[in-house]
Amino acid sequence: MRRCTLQIERLMAELVSEPDGPIHRLTLNIPSRRNAITPAHARSLAQEIERVEEAGEARVILLSGSGGHFCAGLDLHWLRSLGPNPGVADLQHGLSDFQSAVIAIVRCPVPVLAVVQGTAAGFGFDLALACDMRLAGSSATFTSAFARMGLVPDGGSTFTLPRLVGVGRSIRMLMTGETLSAREALSIGMVEEVIEDSTLDPGVRRTVNALLESAGSSIRSIKRLTRVPEVGALEQALSSEGAAQLQALQAPDFRVRLEAFAARFASRGQGA
C-alpha cells in the first residue's frame, strides 16, 4: 500500500495539473530526463484530461513540459527495465497507455494546445501532433526518432502528420528521423506559430485570449466538427501502429539498436 501511495504521489509531481480560470495547464515535470515519460505518465495524462473535461470549467488546455523541453518521448529506462525478452502482454499494455493520451486529446471537447520548447521527440513528437494547435518556442526541435531505433511511430503520427504536411514530407520525416527547427516546422505547416522563448508566456497568452474572445459553444462545436470525424480513422491507425510496433520490439536486432540509441542520447536525455 505504501509503495502504491508513493507511486501515485510521484506521478502527481511529474504531471502538474493547474487550473487557471478558463485555462487549465498540464505540465510534464521530469526535467532531468527532458520529460521522457513511461506508460504510467501517459495514462495519467489521459485521465487528467478526462477529469478536466468532466469538471467543465476549462475552455482551453495548455500542454507543456518543464525545464525548457516538451517531451523526449518514451523513457528508455522503462523499456530497458522490461529485460531482453519482454512479454507481449507488458508491451501491449504499455502501448495502450501511450495511445490513450492521444485519444484523450482528440476526444476532449475543448482545444488542447501544445506549447513546445526544446525537444519534442518520439512519442513527444506524436503527442504534439495530436494537439489542436502547436505553439513553438524558438528553441523547439521536432523529430520522430523511432526509425533510428528500428521502431515505428505508435502515437498516431502516421495519421496526424500527413494531414498537416502532406504524405511525401511525412514519409521523409518518419523514415529518416530528421530533426526540424521551430522555423522549419512553421514553414511546412506543422506548427501554427513560433514565439521567441523569452516572450513565450505572453505570446501563448495572446493566442489563448483570442480563443477566449470567441463563444465557448462555438469553440466546442468547431473542435467537434473538425476532430471527431478523425477519431475512427485515428483509432485504426493507432491499432495498425501498435501491431507493427509489437513486431519491431520483438525483432532479433532490436535490443542492440536500443542499447546503441540509449548510449548515443544518454547525455541529452532523449527518448523515443
Give 16-55 pLDDT, tens digit per residue: 999 999 999 999 999 999 999 999 999 999 999 999 999 9
Is residue 5 included in any domain, yes or no?
no
On the question of pLDDT at 230 being above 90, the answer is yes
Instruction: Write out the residue range of the structural domain in which residue 30 sits.
Output: 10-197+215-268
Is residue 111 included in any domain, yes or no?
yes
Is residue 209 included in any domain, yes or no?
no
Is residue 204 included in any domain, yes or no?
no
pLDDT at 14: 95
Work out how many domains the chain is built from and give that number: 1
Is residue 144 included in any domain, yes or no?
yes
CA–CA distance, 52 with 60 (Å, rounded to integer): 10
Q: Strand 133-137 vs strand 193-195: parallel, antiparallel, or unpaired?
A: parallel
pTM for this predicted structure: 0.93
CA–CA distance, 234 with 157 (Å, rounded to integer): 9
User: Domain of 152: which CATH number?
Assistant: 3.90.226.10
The answer to whether 39 touches 97, Cβ cutoff 8 Å, is yes
Is residue 208 included in any domain, yes or no?
no
Is residue 4 included in any domain, yes or no?
no
Work out the mean pLDDT of the chain and round it to a whole number. 93
| Nearest alpha-carbon partner for 33 in 113, 154, 142, 124 | 124
Q: What is the pLDDT of residues 184-200, one digit of tens each?
A: 999 999 999 999 999 99
Is residue 122 included in any domain, yes or no?
yes
Residue 243, CB half-sphere, CA atoms under 13 Å: how many? 5
